[in-house]
C-alpha cells in the first residue's frame, strides 16, 4: 500500500537506515553479507528512493528542463523537437533523471520559468534551444549560475557549453552538390533571422557560393508556409531567377515546391529544391525532396550527457556533432542550361 522507505528495509534487515543507505549506494561501511541481504529485501519489496527526500538531502533535483517558445502550432510540425526529446530521454533515464518540459509564450516567460525552476530547485540544469543573436537567456542563466547546455552554435553561448552541429558544413555540401550539377544561381529561403543558425547558414551560403564562383541570395522568411510560398514566388518572378532553392525547413520547402509547380515551373527540370531537415514530409510530395539529414536523437543524447556533467560541476568543452548529410531525392537535378547542353552533346566540341 504505502510506498516502502529505507526505514522499512532497515527494520526487516535488523539494521539502521544508515546501513541501508550505505548498502544501496555501494558505500563502504557494511559487510558483503549484510549488503546482499539489504539489496535482496529492497528488490523484494520494490524499493525506489523517494526523489524529494534525495533531492532535499543531496541538493540535486534529479531533473533537467527544456522550454520551447516557438508558437505551438508552428512547432508541432517540426519533427525535430520530438526526436530531440527522445534522445535526451534515452540518456537521462539511465541516470534516473527526469525531463521537465514546457512551452512558453515568449522569451520573457521562458526566462521567468527558468528563474522559478531554479529558485524552487526543480531542475539541476536546462537545455537551451533556438539560440538568438544577443539572446537574453544567456546572461540570465550565467547570472543565476544555472547549469545549461546550448543546443546550437557556441557563438552566442557566452560561458555556456554548447553541443552543436556545423550548419555551415551543411550549406557547403548543398552548394557543392548543386554547383556540381551545373547550377550557377542558388537562392535560399531562411528561417527566423534572429536565430543564430539562420545567420550562420546565410553567411555560409554567401561564402560557399563566392568560392564556387556562383551567384547566391538569401531571402528572409520565418518557417511558415505563407512566407515560404511568398519568398518562392518573389524569387521565381524576379529578374535573376535562381535554378535552385535551399529552404531552412521542410514545411517551407514543400510550400515552395507547390508554389513553383502552380506557377508552371517544373521541379527538378527548371528548379532544384533542397530542404533542411529530413522528415516524413519530404517524401510526401512529388518529386520527393532532397534534404539535409541529421541524427537528431543522437544530438539530444549528447546534449543530455554533457548537461549532466556540467550540472555536476565539471568544466566541459563544447561538443560537436557530425555534420548534416545530404540525402538525394527527386527534387534536385541539373539546371535547364546544362540539360540542353548535355542533350546537344558535350560543350565546346
Provide, rounded to whole angstroms, the least separation between the CB of residue 51 and its own copies. Answer: 4
Provide, rounded to whole angstroms, the least separation between the CB of residue 223 and its own copies. Answer: 10
Give the residue from 188, 201, 198, 197 showing the smallest Cα distance to 256: 188
Measured CA to CA, the distance from residue 253 to residue 292 in angstroms comes to: 12
Rg of the chain over Cα atoms, rounded to whole angstroms, equals 26
- Mask 175-214, x = binds its own copies (CB under 8 A)? ----------------------------------------
Is 281 a binding residue for its own copies by CB under 8 A? The answer is yes
Provide, rounded to whole angstroms, the least separation between the CB of residue 87 and its own copies. Answer: 9
Give the residue from 164, 225, 176 showing the smallest Cα distance to 205: 176
Give the 3-state secondary structure of residue 329: coil
Helices (H), 225-278: 225-237, 250-262
Is 53 a binding residue for its own copies by CB under 8 A? The answer is yes
Measured CA to CA, the distance from residue 111 to residue 347 in angstroms comes to: 60
- Mask 59-98, x = binds DNA (CB under 7 A)? x---------------------------------------
User: Quick one: what does residue 18 bind among its own copies, DNA, none, with the CB cut-off 5 to 8 Å set by partner type?
Assistant: DNA
Query: What residues numbered 20-49 form the site for DNA, per CB under 7 A?
Result: 21-22, 24-25, 27-31, 33-34, 47, 49
Instruction: Select the residue interacting with DNA from 1, 43, 46, 58 (CB under 7 A).
Output: 58
Options 54-62, 191-199, 236-244, 299-307: segment touching DNA (CB under 7 A) = 54-62
Options 18-26, 66-74, 314-322, 329-337: segment touching its own copies (CB under 8 A) = 66-74
Measured CA to CA, the distance from residue 141 to residue 307 in angstroms comes to: 14
DSSP 298-315: HHHHHHHHHHHHHHTT--
Measured CA to CA, the distance from residue 184 to residue 244 in angstroms comes to: 9
User: β-pairing, 125-128 with 148-151?
Assistant: parallel
Give the 3-state secondary structure of residue 279: coil
Query: In whole angstroms, how far apart are CA 222 and each of 189, 190, 251, 340?
Result: 9, 7, 11, 36
Provide, rounded to whole angstroms, the least separation between the CB of residue 278 and its own copies. Answer: 10
Is 53 a binding residue for DNA by CB under 7 A? The answer is yes
- Judged by the rule CB under 8 A, the positions of this chain that interact with its own copies are 3, 46-53, 55-56, 61, 63, 72-83, 85-86, 89, 93, 96, 98-103, 113, 116-122, 224-225, 251, 254-255, 258, 262, 279-281, 283-286, 297
- Judged by the rule CB under 7 A, the positions of this chain that interact with DNA are 2-7, 14-19, 21-22, 24-25, 27-31, 33-34, 47, 49-50, 53-54, 56-59
Amino acid at each position: 500500500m504505502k510506498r516502502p522507505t529505507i526505514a522499512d528495509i532497515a527494520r526487516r534487515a535488523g539494521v539502521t537506515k544508515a546501513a541501508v543507505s550505505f548498502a544501496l549506494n555501494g558505500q563502504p561501511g557494511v559487510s558483503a553479507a549484510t549488503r546482499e541481504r539489504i539489496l535482496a529485501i529492497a528488490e523484494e519489496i520494490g524499493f525506489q528512493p523517494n526523489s524529494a527526500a534525495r533531492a532535499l538531502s543531496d541538493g540535486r533535483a534529479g531533473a533537467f528542463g527544456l522550454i520551447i517558445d516557438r508558437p505551438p502550432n508552428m512547432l508541432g510540425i517540426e519533427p525535430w523537437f520530438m526526436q530531440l526529446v527522445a534522445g535526451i530521454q534515452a540518456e537521462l533515464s539511465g541516470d534516473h533523471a527526469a525531463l521537465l518540459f514546457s512551452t512558453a509564450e515568449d522569451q520573457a516567460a521562458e526566462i521567468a520559468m527558468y528563474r522559478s525552476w531554479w529558485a524552487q530547485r526543480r531542475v539541476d540544469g536546462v537545455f537551451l534551444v533556438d539560440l538568438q543573436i544577443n539572446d537574453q537567456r544567456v546572461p540570465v542563466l550565467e547570472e543565476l549560475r544555472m547549469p545549461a547546455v546550448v543546443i546550437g552554435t557556441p557563438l552566442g553561448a557566452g560561458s555556456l557549453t554548447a553541443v552543436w552541429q556545423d550548419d555551415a558544413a551543411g550549406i557547403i555540401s548543398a552548394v557543392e552538390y548543386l554547383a556540381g550539377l551545373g547550377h550557377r544561381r542558388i537562392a535560399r529561403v531562411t528561417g527566423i533571422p534572429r536565430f543564430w543558425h539562420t545567420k550562420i547558414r546565410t553567411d555560409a551560403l554567401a561564402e560557399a557560393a563566392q568560392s564556387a564562383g556562383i551567384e547566391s541570395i538569401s531571402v528572409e522568411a520565418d518557417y511558415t508556409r505563407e512566407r515560404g510560398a511568398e519568398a518562392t514566388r518573389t524569387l521565381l518572378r524576379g529578374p535573376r531567377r535562381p535554378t535552385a532553392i535551399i529552404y531552412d525547413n521542410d514545411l517551407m520547402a514543400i510550400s515552395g515546391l507547390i508554389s513553383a509547380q502552380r506557377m508552371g515551373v517544373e521541379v527538378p527540370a527548371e528548379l532544384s529544391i533542397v530542404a533542411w531537415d529530413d522528415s516524413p514530409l519530404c517524401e510526401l510530395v512529388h518529386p520527393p525532396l532532397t534534404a539535409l539529414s541529421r541524427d537528431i536523437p543522437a544530438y539530444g543524447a549528447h546534449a543530455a550527457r554533457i548537461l549532466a556533467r556540467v550540472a555536476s560541476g565539471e568544466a566541459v568543452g563544447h561538443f560537436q556533432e557530425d555534420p548534416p548529410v545530404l540525402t538525394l531525392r527527386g527534387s534536385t537535378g541539373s539546371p535547364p542550361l546544362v540539360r540542353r547542353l548535355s542533350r546537344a552533346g558535350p560543350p565546346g566540341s
